[in-house]
Structure 1
Amino acid sequence: MLPKAIIFDLDDTILSLKGTANETWQLMCEEYSKVNDNVDSKTLYKTITDIRLQYWNDRKSNDKGRKNQREARREIIGNVFGKLKLPKEDIIPIVDTFSEKRLKALRFFPKAQETLEILMKNGIKLALITNGEAEIQRYKIERFGLEKYFDIILIETEVGYGKPDIRIYKTVMDYMNVMPNDTWSIGDNLIWDVQAPQELGIYSIWNDFEEVGLPEDTIIVPDRIITRINDIIE
């Protein structure tokens, strides 16, 4: 049984973000190692991956960085180049090129668009809540024609607050005139998309798109685990 309303996350729930980022960085590292003999692509990619994860897994830097991703990437790559003793003047060109390539590489997860269409045709109220910069998130929404699927779209920097602030879930439910027990939340972030809405009594589904399973040290228990959003209708 589907609910009256579903709240969706955007990145790594509807659109493949992490996968395209990894692919793009690998390509960038291969290209850079061809013009700089002081580093090989595998070492550069591993160092970028390690420092990226460290940056985005830190709550303070995550909160700052997602509101200005270009500056966050410059800081990350600056740390990478400092560690590997690579030329500082290459940092900005690499980051800016990555930003362009990564946006172009974005794509729907398999059957994501079809799932939204089926839910909409069946009268399910749909909401989209996404953290990050409005300019970038709006670009994604417009590029993939997502507005037509959703009754309401809330972006962190437009609203003034974002996930895991429970106010954003309350705003959505008030707008759609639904109660928590009539609502599902679906997303890839255990804190933002599962723990926070569960505080309000929303049935919360974790999208384990990497199929890695729950972290051993987590205390968060999703109401359901899926690996693609089309799992909810199949």
Structure 2
Amino acid sequence: MPLPRALLLDLDDTILDAHRNPDEAWIGVCREFAARVGAPSPEALHTAVLQSRDWFWADAERSRRGRLAMEGTRREIVRLALGRLDLPYSPAAEAMADRFTELRHKAIKLFPDATDTLQRLKDSGVRLGLLTNGNSAYQRGKIARFGLEPFFDHIQIEEEFGVGKPDERAFRNALSLLDAEPKDAWMVGDNLEADILGAQQVGIHAIWMDADRAGLPDGTGVRPDRIIGSLSELLS
């Protein structure tokens, strides 16, 4: 398949290995802080955290607000978890949430083929757009940390633009600035609703990044136009 005129890419878990396997970090944090926050056991604390996390992110509006203030969101998840255990929120609880944020930030890394693929796409004349949801400072920090800005003709962050994926305005604005029509563009991302369904609703060829190669989750009604396990597959 020939390359498109324009290619929109998600950032986290598409270019950066950022949010996969968070349970490992939570397990370590719960072991470190269980006694300090008064939890009956690290296991009980971990279970409460996961229940609170899943509840928080299940709602679209909470998710939108939460991703614009991730540090505060993680503190809120810990507060909710402690509430499930009838425990008060305390300075130790805040330190627990911040420790998780610290560990997750340190764990972020580029996927091995990311920068080489971006360079080859750019050298091929494809107009590249980075389309990411979230907080401006947090996302800009990652872009700078990994030297990604030079690869892109347009970078669009939810907080800066005012709306994020899957809102069609986010996709249409990015394509307009890349001088491309939906039929001449691809979108690559790991989120089936925000990246894939959002792109398909405006007529963009939507490619799902399945870095774990786990396949589509049971029960999803979203059907990507293509599934890849690494960015380099875009070149084949």
Normalised by the length of structure 1, the TM-score is: 0.91
The superposition leaves residues 119-155 of structure 1 with CA deviations (integer Å, 9 ceiling, x where unpaired) of 1222211100111110101111110111011100000
1:142 aligns with 2:138: no
Residue pairs, 1:41-80, within 5 angstroms: 41-80=42-81
Structure 1 residue 226: deviation in Å? 1.5
Per the alignment, residue 176 of structure 1 pairs with: 178
Unpaired runs of 5+ residues, structure 1, are: none
Q: How many residues align?
A: 234
Residue pairs, 1:94-173, within 5 angstroms: 94-173=96-175
**Do the aligned partners of residues 23 and 120 (structure 1) sit closer, same or farther apart at CA in structure 2, a change above 3 Å counting?**
farther
**Do the aligned partners of residues 39 and 16 (structure 1) sit closer, same or farther apart at CA in structure 2, a change above 3 Å counting?**
farther
Per the alignment, residue 85 of structure 2 pairs with: 84
Partner SS, residue 18 of structure 1: coil
Partner SS, residue 103 of structure 1: helix
Work out the CA distance in 2 between the residues paired with 1:174 and 1:63: 24
AA at the equivalent of 1:170: R
Structure 1 residue 56: deviation in Å? 1.1
Per the alignment, residue 12 of structure 2 pairs with: 11
Structure 1 residue 26: deviation in Å? 2.5
Work out the CA distance in 1 between the residues paired with 2:102 and 2:218: 36
Per the alignment, residue 210 of structure 1 pairs with: 212
Unpaired runs of 5+ residues, structure 2, are: none
* 117-126 vs 16-25, which moves further: 16-25
| % identical equivalent positions | 38
Conservation of the 8 A alpha-carbon contact between 2:51 and 2:81: no
The superposition leaves residues 63-113 of structure 1 with CA deviations (integer Å, 9 ceiling, x where unpaired) of 111111122112111111111234521221111222223212211123122
**Do the aligned partners of residues 55 and 170 (structure 1) sit closer, same or farther apart at CA in structure 2, a change above 3 Å counting?**
same
* 171-180 vs 149-158, which moves further: 171-180
Partner SS, residue 155 of structure 2: strand
**Do the aligned partners of residues 216 and 24 (structure 1) sit closer, same or farther apart at CA in structure 2, a change above 3 Å counting?**
closer
* 174-183 vs 129-138, which moves further: 174-183
Indicate the RMSD between aligned Cα atoms, in angstroms. 1.9
**Do the aligned partners of residues 222 and 161 (structure 1) sit closer, same or farther apart at CA in structure 2, a change above 3 Å counting?**
same
Partner SS, residue 225 of structure 1: strand
Structure 1 residue 34: deviation in Å? 6.3
Conservation of the 8 A alpha-carbon contact between 1:133 and 1:156: yes
Partner SS, residue 216 of structure 2: coil
Partner SS, residue 82 of structure 2: helix
Per the alignment, residue 225 of structure 1 pairs with: 227
Partner SS, residue 185 of structure 1: strand
Normalised by the length of structure 2, the TM-score is: 0.91
Structure 1 residue 46: deviation in Å? 3.1
The superposition leaves residues 13-33 of structure 1 with CA deviations (integer Å, 9 ceiling, x where unpaired) of 111122263332222122224
